[in-house]
Amino acid sequence: MSVLFITGTGTEVGKTVVTAAVAALAGPGVAVLKPGQTGVAPGEPGDAAEVLRLAGPAVTTRELARYPEPLAPDIAARRAGLPPLAPGQVAEAVGALAAGHHPVLVEGAGGLLVRYDEDGHTLADMALATAALGLAVEVLVVAAAGLGTLNTTALTAEALRARGLSVRGVVVGSWPAVPDLASRCNLGDLPAVAGAPLLGAVPQGAAAEGGEAFHRLARASLAPALGGEWDVLDFTARFVPPLP
């Protein structure tokens, strides 16, 4: 895992908390890049600051662009009169971080195909530009738990593979304290629709505490492939209902 792009199946699915959890378990050499931060005014803490709060000061963070309105990066940049982000610009920043850090995590905005400029470039294009530098690139998909997630997860995985990008796995970004039937059934179906393993389920409210408490939570919520101790077989056996 040299460079891991972290995308969501939509907005508010838990990307930043999952990014922080992966960073917390990755060791002192990890770096987190947020290419485009939207909906945050200058001087206010953004997603990179939230990763630091949760995962701790050993994480190196960088933000490339910030747009104040809570919109897709393309329209947010145009409305603010600010330059958009180009894939090559992001790839260059990833390459610079990768020269002294391992791994590098790149957290996208919204879903995979959210536009970053008027030409329609997306996080997928940024991942492809990074891979063109010779870096090993994989994509982690953060999915919602409930009804509708199978469709958005399948579409995201299909879009990644159509572009020749490798899907590292799927993490449920906010597992409810009392999961409904759809959430419980989806646990068993997410790996099938994604064509990739289920690598964790981060509990709802995980961002309440940082530091060692968050590190413990990260270990319990992410699979060994991401540095944790979460057991997919045990978790699904507890929650996935048997067929009638």
- Annotated catalytic residues are 34
For 108, the enclosing helix (H) or strand (E) is strand 104-111
- State which H helix or E strand residue 197 sits in: none
Give Cβ neighbours of residue 147 (< 8 Å, ≥ 6 apart).
Answer: 182
> Measuring CA to CA, how many Å separate 101 from each of 90, 93, 123, 147, 168?
16, 12, 21, 38, 20
Whole-number Å distance between alpha carbons of 102 and 98: 6
Residue 241 host element (H or E): none
Residue 77 near residue 83 (C-beta atoms within 8 A):
yes
Exposure string of 193-218, with b = 16+ CB inside 10 Å and e = fewer, is bbebebbbbbbbebbeebeeebbebb
Cα–Cα distance measured from residue 127 to residue 2, given in angstroms and rounded to the nearest whole number: 12
Residues 6+ apart with CB under 8 A from 8: 14, 15, 108, 110, 111, 112, 141, 142, 143, 173
From CA 100, how far away is CA 104, in angstroms rounded? 10
